[in-house]
Amino acid sequence: MSLTGPASLRQALLGHRAEFVATATEKLLAYALGRTVAYSDMPTIRAIVRNAAPDDDRLSSLVVGIVKSEAFRMRKKQG
């Protein structure tokens, strides 16, 4: 598959929507936690993705899910 522009990129991403949303959530959570995600974080990621689905996987729903997650609320402060 070759990408010829923004429209073909959009179609490619929509073709793999579940994987894209899960990966984006994983990367956002890693950034929010300030560390790489561990195997033990995967249930949290799946729950965030599952809870964002009824809202059409909106970015705002993913961010709210991350902020409400125990992993984010209980993270250790650096410094």
23-46 tens-digit pLDDT: 999 999 999 999 999 999 999 999
Q: Would the pLDDT of 79 be above 80?
A: no
Global pTM reads: 0.84
Cα atoms found within 13 Å of the Cα of residue 46, Cβ hemisphere only: 5
Mean pLDDT (whole number) for 69-75: 92
Mean pLDDT (whole number) for 41-52: 97
Task: Kindly tell me the sign of the dihedral angle through the C-alpha atoms of 55, 60, 62, 63.
Answer: negative
Cα separation of 57 and 79, whole Å? 34
Residue in 55, 54, 57, 56 with CA at minimum distance from that of residue 25: 57
Give the model's pLDDT for residue 70.
94
